[in-house]
C-alpha cells in the first residue's frame, strides 16, 4: 500500500531546483500522457493561496482536459497579491511548454512560507529538470514536495474487476498546519481508470471527508490545502454503475486514509498516534464536533505527550464542544493500538471516575499507538478521528520555521 510502482499513462519526477538550501529535492511534476478527468477539494480558509485560486478557476472551467500537476516547496505563494497570481500562471505555462500542453491543462501547488513570492528562475529550473526526468520514480516525487515532513508519503492500490484491473495511487505532504476543513495539506491522486467528471468529484469529496477531514496535528487549516484527482482512463476500465462506483469509492477511501494516517504519524514533533472514536452522540455531526474539540485541545494533547492518563481533560473538552453532551450518560475508555476495539480500560462512567488502576492506564498511555473511545450515550451518531500528542519539539520546529 505504501509504495507506488506505476500507474498507466502517468509519469512523475522529483528534482532539486535550488529552492531548498540543503540540496534536497524540492520540485515535482506528475504528468499524464493524455488529458484527464479531474476533481479537486480545496481549503475552506478564506485566505487562499494563489495556486488554490488558480486551480479552482481552472477546474470550474473544465474538468475533462487536465494533463499535469506541478508542485514547489519553500514558498507557499500565499498573500502575494497580483504578482503571486501571475507567478502561478507562469509556472503553469512553463510546465505546459515542457510537456506540449496548454497552460489551462496544468494545476500548480505550492507549500512553504506564507507571504513569499515564487523565485521564478528556480521554478523555471525545476520545470526544466523535472520535465526531462519524468518516469516512474514516485519516491522522489513524494520526497520533493516535503517541507517539515521527515519522510515521503505515498499509497497505491490495484482494483480487480470483471473487465480487468486499474490502479489508484497518490502522494501527499503534510506535517504541520494540519486541522482539516475539506481536505488538508497537499495531495495528488492518480488513477488509470476512466471516470465521469461527476463521479470523480463526488468520490473525491466523499473520500476526503472520511480521511483528510478526520486528521488533526495542531489545529491549523492552511491557506494552501488541496487534493487533486486525475483520471486518464489508460487501463481501459470504465467505472460505471453502482457496484463499480462503490468499489472505486472503497479503494479511493483506502488510499486517502493511508495517506492521512501517514501525515499524522509524521506530524511535527509527534511521539504518539491517537485513534479517537466518538460514539453515541446525538448525530454524526455532533460526534465530529466533539472529536475535533478533543483532538485539538492543547491540554489533552500535552497530557498524551507527558504519559498522563488525565481523562478529565478529555471529558472537559467534550463538554465545551458546543453540542449536547451529558456526562452522566458518558463512558470513556483507553486501549492499546490503532483503532483498537478490544482490551478497553474504562476510566470514566456515569458522571464519575471508574474503578480502574492508574498503573494500567499509564501502561496504555505510554504506548506509541493508543485508542481513546468516548461513548456519549445520547444517540447513534459516531465518527473516528486520528490525532497525536503535542511535544516540545513541535514548539521548537514552529518557533524558528522561517529561519
Given a cut of 50, whether residue 188 has pLDDT beyond it is yes
Given a cut of 90, whether residue 395 has pLDDT beyond it is no
pLDDT at 183: 44
Task: Please report whether residue 237 resides in a domain.
Answer: yes
For residue 390, name the pLDDT band (cuts at 50, 70, 90).
confident
Do 131 and 252 belong together in one domain? yes
Do 191 and 86 belong together in one domain? yes
Residue 390 is part of a domain; what is its CATH number?
Answer: 3.10.20.340
Choose one of 215, 239, 265: the last residue of a domain: 265
Tell me what the mean pLDDT of segment 1-6 comes to: 79
More confident residue, 3 or 104: 104
Distance of alpha carbon 157 from alpha carbon 155, whole angstroms: 7
Choose one of 244, 265, 286: the last residue of a domain: 265
- Does the annotation flag 181 for ligand binding? no
Do 96 and 147 belong together in one domain? yes
Q: Look up the domain containing 53 and give its range.
A: 10-265
For the whole prediction, is pTM greater than 0.85?
yes
CA within 13 Å, CB half, 204: 29
Do 112 and 186 belong together in one domain? yes
pLDDT at 148: 82
Do 311 and 388 belong together in one domain? yes
Distance of alpha carbon 47 from alpha carbon 211, whole angstroms: 23
Do 99 and 151 belong together in one domain? yes
Share of the chain above pLDDT 90, in %: 83
- Does the annotation flag 283 for ligand binding? no
- Does the annotation flag 173 for ligand binding? yes
Q: Are β-strands 186-191 and 226-231 bridged in parallel, bridged antiparallel, or unpaired?
A: parallel
Do 294 and 231 belong together in one domain? no
pLDDT at 62: 98
Phi–psi pair at 204, nearest 5 degrees: -65, -45
Task: Please report whether residue 395 resides in a domain.
Answer: yes
Triad 396, 402, 403: Cα angle to 5°: 80
Which of 238, 259, 258 lies closest to 247 in space, CA to CA?
238
Do 239 and 351 belong together in one domain? no
CB 329 within 8 A of CB 376: yes
Distance of alpha carbon 123 from alpha carbon 73, whole angstroms: 10
The number of distinct structural domains making up the chain is 2
- Does the annotation flag 124 for ligand binding? no
Instruction: Calculate the alpha carbon distances from 319 to 294, 309, 316, 390 in Å.
Output: 10, 18, 5, 21
- Does the annotation flag 235 for ligand binding? no
So which residues are the catalytic ones?
A: 184
Do 248 and 157 belong together in one domain? yes
Residue 246 is part of a domain; what is its CATH number?
Answer: 3.60.70.12
Given a cut of 60, whether residue 271 has pLDDT beyond it is yes
pLDDT at 403: 45
294-341 confidence digits (pLDDT tens): 999 999 999 999 999 999 999 999 999 999 999 999 999 999 999 999
Q: Are β-strands 273-281 and 369-375 bridged in parallel, bridged antiparallel, or unpaired?
A: parallel
Choose one of 265, 283, 302: the last residue of a domain: 265
Task: Please report whether residue 66 resides in a domain.
Answer: yes
- Does the annotation flag 147 for ligand binding? yes
Do 299 and 372 belong together in one domain? yes
Do 252 and 278 belong together in one domain? no
Do 80 and 151 belong together in one domain? yes
Chain centroid to CA 33: 26
CB 29 within 8 A of CB 70: yes
CB 222 within 8 A of CB 184: yes
Amino acid at each position: 500500500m505504501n509504495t507506488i510502482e506505476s500507474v498507466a499513462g502517468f509519469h512523475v519526477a522529483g528534482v532539486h531546483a535550488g529552492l531548498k538550501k540543503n540540496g534536497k529535492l524540492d520540485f515535482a511534476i506528475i504528468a499524464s500522457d493524455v488529458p484527464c478527468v479531474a476533481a479537486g477539494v480545496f481549503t475552506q480558509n478564506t485566505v487562499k493561496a494563489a495556486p488554490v485560486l488558480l486551480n479552482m478557476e481552472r477546474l470550474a472551467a473544465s474538468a475533462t482536459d487536465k494533463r499535469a500537476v506541478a508542485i514547489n516547496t519553500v514558498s507557499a505563494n500565499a498573500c502575494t497579491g497580483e504578482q503571486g497570481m501571475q507567478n502561478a500562471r507562469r509556472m503553469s505555462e512553463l510546465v505546459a511548454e515542457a510537456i506540449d500542453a496548454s497552460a489551462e491543462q496544468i494545476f500548480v501547488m505550492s507549500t512553504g512560507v506564507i507571504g513569499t513570492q515564487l523565485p521564478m528562475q528556480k521554478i523555471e529550473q525545476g520545470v526544466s529538470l523535472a520535465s526531462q526526468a519524468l518516469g516512474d520514480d514516485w519516491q522522489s516525487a513524494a520526497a520533493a514536495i516535503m517541507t517539515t515532513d521527515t519522510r515521503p508519503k505515498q499509497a497505491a492500490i490495484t482494483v480487480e474487476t470483471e473487465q480487468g484491473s486499474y490502479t489508484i495511487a497518490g502522494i501527499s505532504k503534510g506535517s504541520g498546519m494540519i486541522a482539516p476543513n475539506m481536505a488538508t495539506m497537499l495531495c495528488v491522486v492518480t488513477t488509470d481508470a476512466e471516470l465521469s467528471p461527476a463521479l470523480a468529484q463526488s468520490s473525491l469529496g466523499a473520500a476526503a471527508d472520511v480521511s483528510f477531514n478526520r486528521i488533526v496535528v495542531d489545529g491549523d487549516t492552511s491557506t494552501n490545502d488541496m487534493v487533486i484527482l486525475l483520471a486518464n482512463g489508460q487501463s481501459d476500465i470504465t467505472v460505471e454503475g453502482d457496484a463499480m462506483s462503490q468499489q472505486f469509492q472503497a479503494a479511493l477511501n483506502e488510499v486517502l486514509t493511508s495517506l492521512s494516517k501517514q501525515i499524522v504519524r509524521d506530524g511535527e514533533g509527534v511521539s504518539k498516534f491517537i485513534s479517537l472514536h466518538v460514539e453515541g452522540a446525538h448525530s454524526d455531526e455532533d460526534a465530529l464536533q466533539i472529536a475535533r474539540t478533543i483532538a485539538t485541545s492543547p491540554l489533552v494533547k500535552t497530557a498524551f505527550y507527558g504519559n498522563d492518563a488525565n481523562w478529565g481533560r478529555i471529558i472537559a473538552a467534550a463538554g465545551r464542544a458546543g453540542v449536547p453532551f451529558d456526562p452522566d450518560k458518558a463512558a470513556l475508555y483507553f486501549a492499546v493500538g490503532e483503532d483498537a476495539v478490544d482490551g478497553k480500560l474504562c476510566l470514566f462512567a456515569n458522571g464519575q471516575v471508574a474503578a480502574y488502576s492508574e498503573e494500567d492506564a499509564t501502561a496504555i498511555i505510554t504506548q506509541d499507538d493508543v485508542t481513546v473511545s468516548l461513548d456519549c450515550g445520547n444517540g447513534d451518531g459516531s465518527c473516528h478521528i486520528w490525532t497525536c500528542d503535542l511535544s516540545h519539539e513541535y514548539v521548537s520546529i514552529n518557533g524558528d520555521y522561517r529561519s
